Structure 1
Amino acid sequence: MSNGLKSVTDQVSPASARDTRQFRKSAPSVDVAAWLAGLPAAQAQRQLGKLPLPRRAVVFAHLDLPLQVEFAARMPARDLADLVTQMDSDDRTDLFKHMDRRSQATLLENLPQSVRDDIRRLSSHEEGTAGSLMTTDFATIDARMSPQQAIEALRAQAVKREAISRPYIVDDEGVLLGSVELHQLIVAPDSAHVGDIMRRDPVSVTVDTDQEDVAKAIERYDLASIPVIHDDGRLVGIVTHDDAADAMQAATTEDFQRISTVRPFSESLRSATIGMLYSRRVFWLVLLVFGNLFSGAGISYFEDTILAYVALVFFLPLLIDSSGNAGSQSATLMVRALATGDVAMKDWGSLILRELAVAGALGLTMMLVVVPLGIWRGGYEIGLVVGLTMLTVVIIGSTVGMSLPFLLSRLRLDPATASGPLVTTISDAMGVLIYFSIATAVLDL
């Protein structure tokens, strides 16, 4: 481990500091949260309570949501309301969504009216959209202001706003007109007006925009935040780059879970219970058992072929695994490409032709490897059967692996489901049928 990395990781525990109190006071809030997460719940809550309220709210927001909910359940209602009031609007809304209905009702009763209305408004948006990610802690200024007046207005808003480096300009109805960088206001001449230097019609999204599209827009245009508007153009919030990154991290985690045929869950693996992990994994495992029955049925159908040439059994695992491996490779590449927007549905035609060429080359290479093994094990006829099967199953498996994500995407299902065990199960069943069909034809059985 490098010295630089070690110095960072050492900061997440007061064991490396002389004074726990100094650690709570001076360490980065994310490190304090990581330290608290490793303590027993009661002790962690006592340490959290020793922090000043503003810092406590920031540290609390860095905790995993299940731990936030656990801590919130232990707090007196009034203390929790004070803490939630200090949190950023998007963070407190996330906490609110993960609480049970009774706890939600108790919390709302103790919150100021403005905070209560803000939580209700933000929590009403559908999960996975810009509305569910956005915060209402944004800064606005008037187009008629001078640069100095705008800076004074931002100074007044800075205490309660999450992002002021790019204030937004709205009209009297709240309709978004433009945006301006803070440094532009600083260097602008006093005789100018905000409307003269602002960027008109900035890149924006609506409350219903998918969170992945929001993240792509932020990345594409290199934005610190992106405004969220209603259909009538009114500015209702912003999505910051860190919130978009968090959302994409969660989406990527969900994709990995789906690739492994695990039903998605939001809890961290460390805090997940045995029952929850069982329930998320058992469905696909049982379903794939029935899928594998097709492979068994295929083997049973070709019993006479197997009895006549027992050497064929030696190559069965090799061939069907090669089909599944090729399919998994293609599916993983396509799932990722679809997720990042690198390819779209209209690209299927050109991609399938290219995949056939690549799969053909791969199949021929693997065919050259297994034919000598087939000849050595069972003679020239077995070598021919194994070689032709290898070429065919690699092409078929790759084609299935590439096409299935497109099909699921067209059906508005998650393409990530097409990877891993699902593609392998389909390819295995097809590989068995192809192998013994070729064997029966070549060996004239």
Structure 2
Amino acid sequence: MLNPLLLPEIRTMLAQDDQQGLTEIVTELHAATVAEFGEGLTVEETWALLRHADVARQAEIFAFFPEEKQVELVDGVGRERMSRLLEAMSHDDRVDLLQLLDEEVVESLLPLVAKADREDIRRLLSYPEHSAGSVMTTDYATLPPDVTVQESINRLRQQASQKETIYYIYVVDAERHLIGFVSLRDLILAKPNSLVEDIMQEDVVSVRADQDQEDVARTLAKYDFIAMPVVDEQGRIIGIVTHDDVLDVLVEEATEDALHMGGVGAMEENYLDVPFTTVWRKRSMWLSCLFVAELFTFTALAQYEDAISSIIALSLFVPLCISTGGNSGSQAATLITRAMALGQITPGQWWRVLRHELLMGLALGLTLGVIGFVRASLTPASVLGDADRWVLALVIGQSVASICLWGTLVGSMLPLVFEKLGFDPGYASSPFVATFVDVTGIVIYFTIAKTLLLG
């Protein structure tokens, strides 16, 4: 929270009904700053603060509140007042808010909203979650191709206050088919008598409403646009996705991937705000599954009891060998998952990935195998027992190299397999890969040991 020392002053101003001071706070500070102050206030205090601004400013501030605070504020105010605020909010912000509310609350608010706004809300709510349609706004500026630059600027002056952005103006025909776009900069620099169709760019990059929001984010980042038009099946513009919404998408997706790779289910709320039982349930579920899977390590070790009892030194190197596989597998899984998230590789390129990681696994395995060989060759004679020092060193070196190669291949292929099967590649997480490679690494290690040491 920003400067909590000012909260007592704000509360004092509210108690004294200091209208001038409160008006200065809500009108002169940035909307995000006002929202940060509001986080430390009660619902009643927050609404008392907001009433010192007009409804347009209230809507601007409201959008910066955390989701939990927004829901609390909706529950703490009359439906009539909330409906006026909804009408003033940007189209995408109000849809985001309504998606947080219970269905009965939404249905009680919509009849109070103007018909045009109500229809727009229902249309945006109809798009699938995580699609371009679900994050787009219908607050965009358009122009016909046959008007002059001077007339275009006059039109923009009239509609600018109702649009989320006018940096890009989209050129449409009579049926609203997207035929080009022009930037505000180009309009200002063009001759007043020039026609829009003469200065517009016709190679428009657009996305469909049903496209995944991650694809939209990558496309917008690729072309370095501030906004991206969204079109329907007939090529008619129906909205735009702005850079601020794309930033939210990237943060959301990166957070989700990071949680999955850590073996934790996705959480919508801030870390300190998530109920203890929710965190326990999400974390214990994954840990329990991984724990049960790790029990197979015990089963695998039991199969090689004779080898362990005859050569005690073998047991000393078990942690070294299996951790090597887990580390190399987790590293590969992280690299591949991130590359997939950035659109750098797809499941169809699995063969190229396999070849690349095969060579990398061999190189890494050779590097670590040499280190393991040297370390095993220094094993004290009191620990060696009847085992030959150099044969043991060869076992350790070869096992480390083999397990490292195996872990690298498993870690690189699992995310691609998960994506192909329709699962989030993030579920091929580091704990998952490490657990799988631990169990199989035991088998590889003792198979090599039995072959070289016990014949």
Q: TM-score range by the shorter chain?
A: over 0.9
Q: Equivalent residue of 2:63, what SS?
A: helix
1:230-268: per-residue Cα shift (whole Å, max 9, x none)?
001111100001111111110111111111121212222
Output the CA distance in 2 between the equivalents of 1:273 and 1:352.
Answer: 42
Provide structure 2 residue ranges, at least 5 long, that are not aligned to the other structure. 14-20
Q: What does residue 6 of structure 1 align with?
A: none
Output the CA distance in 2 between the equivalents of 1:397 and 1:188.
Answer: 60
* CA displacement at 1:374 relative to structure 2: 2.2
Query: What amino acid does structure 2 have at the position aligned with 1:170?
Result: V
Q: Is the 8 A contact 1:77 1:106 kept in 2?
A: yes
1:439 aligns with 2:449: yes
Provide structure 1 residue ranges, at least 5 long, that are not aligned to the other structure. 1-8
Q: What does residue 238 of structure 2 align with?
A: 236
Q: What does residue 135 of structure 1 align with?
A: 137
Q: Equivalent residue of 1:317, what SS?
A: helix
Q: Is the 8 A contact 2:32 2:61 kept in 1?
A: yes
Q: What does residue 393 of structure 1 align with?
A: 403
Q: What does residue 297 of structure 1 align with?
A: 299
Q: What does residue 206 of structure 1 align with?
A: 208
1:36 aligns with 2:46: no
Output the CA distance in 2 between the equivalents of 1:42 and 1:81.
Answer: 18
1:5-25: per-residue Cα shift (whole Å, max 9, x none)?
xxxx96787479998633333
C-alpha spacing 1:16/1:107, structure 2 compared with 1 (3 Å):
closer
Output the CA distance in 2 between the equivalents of 1:204 and 1:325.
Answer: 41
Q: How does 1:213-362 map to 2 (within 5 A)?
A: 213-362=215-364
Between stretches 414-423 and 88-97, larger displacement belongs to: 414-423
Output the CA distance in 2 between the equivalents of 1:10 and 1:397.
Answer: 46
Q: What does residue 411 of structure 1 align with?
A: 421
1:429 alignment partner, one of 417, 439, 451: 439
* CA displacement at 1:74 relative to structure 2: 1.0
1:155 alignment partner, one of 150, 154, 157: 157
Q: Equivalent residue of 2:322, what SS?
A: helix
Q: Equivalent residue of 1:179, what SS?
A: strand
Q: What does residue 54 of structure 2 align with?
A: 52
Q: What does residue 189 of structure 1 align with?
A: 191
Output the CA distance in 2 between the equivalents of 1:13 and 1:412.
Answer: 50
Output the CA distance in 2 between the equivalents of 1:323 and 1:17.
Answer: 58
Q: What does residue 179 of structure 1 align with?
A: 181
* CA displacement at 1:277 relative to structure 2: 1.7
Between stretches 219-228 and 353-362, larger displacement belongs to: 353-362
Q: Equivalent residue of 1:226, what SS?
A: strand
Q: What does residue 102 of structure 1 align with?
A: 104
Q: Equivalent residue of 1:239, what SS?
A: strand
Q: What does residue 5 of structure 1 align with?
A: none
C-alpha spacing 1:341/1:44, structure 2 compared with 1 (3 Å):
same
Q: Is the 8 A contact 1:12 1:31 kept in 2?
A: no
* CA displacement at 1:299 relative to structure 2: 0.9
Q: Equivalent residue of 1:237, what SS?
A: strand
* CA displacement at 1:188 relative to structure 2: 2.2
Q: Percent identity?
A: 35
* CA displacement at 1:164 relative to structure 2: 1.2
Between stretches 237-246 and 164-173, larger displacement belongs to: 164-173
- How large is the Cα RMSD of the aligned pairs? 2.1
Output the CA distance in 1 between the equivalents of 2:195 and 2:309.
Answer: 89
Q: Is the 8 A contact 2:337 2:415 kept in 1?
A: yes
Output the CA distance in 2 between the equivalents of 1:228 and 1:371.
Answer: 59
Q: What does residue 372 of structure 1 align with?
A: 374
Q: What does residue 117 of structure 2 align with?
A: 115
Q: Is the 8 A contact 2:91 2:138 kept in 1?
A: yes
Output the CA distance in 2 between the equivalents of 1:195 and 1:66.
Answer: 46
C-alpha spacing 1:406/1:142, structure 2 compared with 1 (3 Å):
same
Output the CA distance in 2 between the equivalents of 1:61 and 1:23.
Answer: 17
Query: What amino acid does structure 1 have at the position aligned with 2:196?
Result: V
1:402 aligns with 2:402: no
* CA displacement at 1:219 relative to structure 2: 1.2
C-alpha spacing 1:164/1:23, structure 2 compared with 1 (3 Å):
same
Q: Is the 8 A contact 2:7 2:37 kept in 1?
A: no
Output the CA distance in 1 between the equivalents of 2:311 and 2:111.
Answer: 77
Query: What amino acid does structure 2 have at the position aligned with 1:428?
Result: D
* CA displacement at 1:66 relative to structure 2: 2.1
C-alpha spacing 1:442/1:229, structure 2 compared with 1 (3 Å):
same
* CA displacement at 1:61 relative to structure 2: 0.4
Output the CA distance in 1 between the equivalents of 2:208 and 2:135.
Answer: 12
C-alpha spacing 1:41/1:425, structure 2 compared with 1 (3 Å):
farther
C-alpha spacing 1:228/1:11, structure 2 compared with 1 (3 Å):
farther
Normalising by structure 2, we get a TM-score of: 0.91
Q: What does residue 17 of structure 2 align with?
A: none
Q: Equivalent residue of 1:62, what SS?
A: coil
Output the CA distance in 2 between the equivalents of 1:387 and 1:190.
Answer: 77
Output the CA distance in 1 between the equivalents of 2:63 and 2:309.
Answer: 66
Q: Is the 8 A contact 2:2 2:33 kept in 1?
A: no
* CA displacement at 1:181 relative to structure 2: 1.2
Q: Equivalent residue of 2:317, what SS?
A: helix
* CA displacement at 1:86 relative to structure 2: 0.9
Output the CA distance in 1 between the equivalents of 2:292 and 2:2.
Answer: 50
* CA displacement at 1:55 relative to structure 2: 1.5
Q: Is the 8 A contact 1:140 1:167 kept in 2?
A: yes
Between stretches 183-192 and 40-49, larger displacement belongs to: 40-49
Output the CA distance in 2 between the equivalents of 1:46 and 1:246.
Answer: 29
Q: What does residue 393 of structure 2 align with?
A: 383
